[in-house]
Chain A
């Protein structure tokens, strides 16, 4: 297992280098003088020259790439052009909200996906199966921002059950408050995250449910499941203890991949529900063409995604010996 962990960690290095190169490349593909393009038509020649110096545009690209690497290794992502603040500080201030949203959505997606997938598989061919898979097909095809709007329209505007926009106290703090006798803080936080997380989760829930169904159908035909029934075990026990456990393996790796999709989806969900995370920051940075900030955000998304995949791979290897030995 140790060898596997080391091998997997070493793989992360070329991957991270590649991601930095791609992120750096964003600056190279700007047509014309990046400084002039970024500052817009009204910029003075002096301002453009200053920005050229700040971005190091007067140096050849390989020197800039080297400097970019060197700075990144010290945790320096450059300074935002418009907010006059280090990019890393701006991003760190927002990262928590996005991770919270993505994690809650991932948990929701997994719970919904597992339940629907198992139900559809054990009732294969029945109306339960048909309806579930119809929902899954719709969930896969639905734009996340549209679902967000519909949920907001129904639960916030029409019924008034949940707040339409914004975020409550961060969940970890809210839990702490609940423990110390202020449960309403926690309820407020849950109320705020419910709609954006559900909107974000739907697509992944649909994909997971289809996968769980297919995986379960395959496992339910295996000999050991027949043996379990032959031993006289109840159906519920066979499905949960024997079949689901084995069906979960292929699903696990996909759940990790879904996290990347959830991070991307968060950009859209956050812009609808005014969730103060990286997604909103992305939109603002792109509207202003604040390139250092855009590069920092793109790289942060990629690194977080890579780390999550690392954790999933390690978990996978811990559960399935065939991986770490193969």
Chain B
């Protein structure tokens, strides 16, 4: 993992992506301070308000403040995304490391299992899982994890296949290091680049999935101000207050865009491809 800072700062994707992501994360953390109203606080005199000084993004049919609902919604989306990405990354990485390092039938079995989970359209399996388990932060996260881990498994496996042939891994083996030690001390640190890139992109995907579930009414139940539900609720008032849906959707898009740009930028800067080009020495420099 070599990352030269000056190079990082000149990467437009990375800088813009980091700025957007950081802004959303800060808004979510400080939601109680940046929200101007309570999420359920009604203001019947100002129903369906367009943007005003009091309600900067307007209000819905109960006069509830859209801005406040969105910043609190950010907490839900980000919490679920972080849980889902962390768990998927851990599961997928372990599977990928084990499959890539041991090869043979272990690899065959693990990769066929990965293929099976990858073979379901993500949202369909997620919906089915939420349907049987019921809504809730952990269940929605689980629904996302079930498919999301497969990508880490595949990428980490192929990185491991390259890394295990490197001289320093062979040397560790010759010195009698245990497989667990080699996998976690020698290979994992050098496979972190692609994992970080995938995790950043994965945050975006998880947010899209979570908001899709809540859009369909299977995410956290109201009064939780999820982005997806706020958007879906807004569609009832498409003629009177189209901004409710438009702004909620734009919030989702900008957030996902932020994490995607960050991921793309990180990919450029960390350049995981260096590994497959035989850059063994620079890969170990850390």
| Contact A301 to B231, CB < 8 A, known contacts A150-B246, A286-B131 | no
Q: Can you name the residue of chain B whose Cβ is closest to the Cβ of A37? A: B132
> What is the size category of the interface that chain A forms with chain B?
35 or more
**Do the beta carbons of A260 and B260 come within 8 Å of each other?**
no
Query: What per-residue 1/0 map shows which CB atoms of B236-267 lie under 8 Å from chain A?
Result: 00110010011001101110110011000000
Query: What per-residue 1/0 map shows which CB atoms of A288-311 lie under 8 Å from chain B?
Result: 010100110110011001100100
Contacts of B231 in A (CB 8 A): 143, 145-146, 149
Per the bound structure, the CA–CA distance linking A145 and B245 in Å amounts to 11
**Do the beta carbons of B112 and A268 come within 8 Å of each other?**
no
Q: Is A30 an interface residue (CB 8 A)?
A: yes
Q: How distant is A87 from chain B, measured CB to nearest CB, in Å?
A: 14
Q: Is A72 an interface residue (CB 8 A)?
A: no
Q: Can you name the residue of chain A whose Cβ is closest to the Cβ of B259? A: A141
The A229-273 residues at the B interface (CB cut-off 8 A) are 260-261, 263-265, 267-268, 271
Q: Can you name the residue of chain A whose Cβ is closest to the Cβ of B234? A: A149
Per the bound structure, the CA–CA distance linking A6 and B250 in Å amounts to 48
Q: State which of B112, B125, B132, B252 has its C-beta within 8 Å of the C-beta of A146.
A: B252
Per the bound structure, the CA–CA distance linking A95 and B131 in Å amounts to 21
**Do the beta carbons of A305 and B120 come within 8 Å of each other?**
yes
Contacts of B127 in A (CB 8 A): 267, 282-283, 286
The A118-141 residues at the B interface (CB cut-off 8 A) are 137-138, 140-141
Per the bound structure, the CA–CA distance linking A149 and B250 in Å amounts to 12
Q: Which of A14-22, A78-86, A109-117, A167-175 lines the interface with chain B? A: A14-22
Contacts of B113 in A (CB 8 A): 18
Q: Is A153 an interface residue (CB 8 A)?
A: yes
**Do the beta carbons of B129 and A26 come within 8 Å of each other?**
yes
- Chain A interface main SS type: helix
Most B CB contacts (10 A, CB to CB) among A26, A145, A153 go to A145
Contacts of B124 in A (CB 8 A): 263-264, 267, 282, 297-298, 301
Q: Can you name the residue of chain A whose Cβ is closest to the Cβ of B131? A: A286
Q: Which of B27-35, B61-69, B208-216 lines the interface with chain A? A: B208-216
Contacts of A157 in B (CB 8 A): 238-239
Q: State which of B129, B131, B132, B253 has its C-beta within 8 Å of the C-beta of A141.
A: B253
Q: State which of A19, A150, A268, A289 has its C-beta within 8 Å of the C-beta of B123.
A: A268
Q: How many residues of B contact A (CB 8 A)?
A: 44
Q: Can you name the residue of chain B whose Cβ is closest to the Cβ of A290? A: B131
Per the bound structure, the CA–CA distance linking A142 and B124 in Å amounts to 19
Query: What per-residue 1/0 map shows which CB atoms of B128-170 lie under 8 Å from chain A?
Result: 1111111000000000000000000000000000000000000
Q: Is B104 an interface residue (CB 8 A)?
A: no
Contacts of B222 in A (CB 8 A): none
Q: Is A31 an interface residue (CB 8 A)?
A: yes
Q: Is B116 an interface residue (CB 8 A)?
A: yes
User: Which A residues form the contact surface with B (CB < 8 A)?
Assistant: 14-15, 18-19, 22, 26-27, 29-31, 37, 137-138, 140-146, 149-150, 153, 157, 260-261, 263-265, 267-268, 271, 282-283, 285-287, 289, 291, 294-295, 297-298, 301-302, 305-306, 309
Question: A137-B257, A264-B124, A301-B121 known; 20 other A-B pairs, CB under 8 Å?
Answer: A15-B112, A19-B116, A26-B128, A29-B133, A137-B260, A140-B260, A142-B253, A146-B231, A149-B231, A260-B119, A260-B121, A263-B124, A268-B123, A289-B132, A301-B120, A302-B119, A302-B121, A305-B120, A305-B121, A306-B119
User: Which B residues form the contact surface with A (CB < 8 A)?
Assistant: 112-113, 115-117, 119-125, 127-134, 204, 208, 211-212, 215-218, 231, 235, 238-239, 242, 245-246, 249-250, 252-254, 256-257, 260-261
